[in-house]
Chain A
């Protein structure tokens, strides 16, 4: 049974069909990249899977459980963590506090107004680890808003992994990064993926990043899936070439 299964997901905005009958199955442990030109519906797909936007039609099944129509926080509680295309942080809190709040979200006693010392201690520990993994430990006490753009993107990924998700969804993690920053981010992501048995869906523009990280690739074009398979198969696919890859190179 796949970990995540999208069945005929559709989302239209007025007359525009941003995501059109998307079927996709992601096995546990897989690193899946979703690629496509601008406006292909990648971010919309992310948003309807995580419940940020309601679907027009179709279903999402996560670990055998229907999650369509659940509010965002419930979807996340099932074990899906995500980052946003535009960095979403708590800019006035320190990097460590950012990750700590994320880590705490998975603790059963996260709501405790009193007698929650063990929750804080546990979250602190997870946060330290996540920052370490993102090589951000030295910025632990720095306000997130003061970090460089590249570090902010890494911090957001750190927050996502601190949630100990079963499925990690990264929306263009290298967007807006310089070449050096991208290389560093890819290196960190590779180490992270090599270590664990994370399942990842990755939306990415940078083809190099995609081919370095992904096991399988899904190509979206105008809201539809036009190809689905191993990186080399996708590369060789004529339709993909003309729709996307050819156009870029």
Chain B
């Protein structure tokens, strides 16, 4: 095994990992930026996305259709949750209450998945088109992971352009700066909030579907991934979209290379990274100083 090939393969691995992480982290950071809500249920929604994706593939046989149906389903769940529960708490201005509420949802989602799909993991086959490997510098590399990198990058660019260039994006950024002012200017802030919550949920579900062929859909996937996503959002800066990209890359690289070079410390290393960032920059790398 040559060294260059190894590095390239690991780097690509890290990029594909970062893509999955980005799907969950960016929704988390967007929701926090607009609504000041730490959504603990985000991991659960990611998991529901994976399971719905599994069922779609099972019934229709089409992986591509699942990329559509899972986000729509999960966005609907998120939208209902936001309207029925979260929106009632905006007047209370209590960050703790959101945390609790979404934690409650996370518990319910986990149990609901357990009831509907049972305890055993569900594997999703990689679609024919993306099966197989390519050889890069004498190293075989799965095409599916390359596909993840591509779709992750595409999603990041699309979202970034959406936030920067479109009217809706401008509105979202304005609400995150000063919701009252936007409200006074005649925009329905409640609608923006519901919209952004649903968008965040849909992106997470997309991430869930995409990760299912790699790791299967399993019951603990939500609680594992949510902590990684928190770490990313904290490192990148709460509410910063670019921060979620940077954080995803950083965490993915540390995980992939850390698992190889510091096997003993693999679990601890991302928390150490997070502590380090918070001590040096309490607001995160790209976040506002508190």
Complex A–B touching at CB under 8 A: no
B-to-A contact residues, CB < 8 Å? none
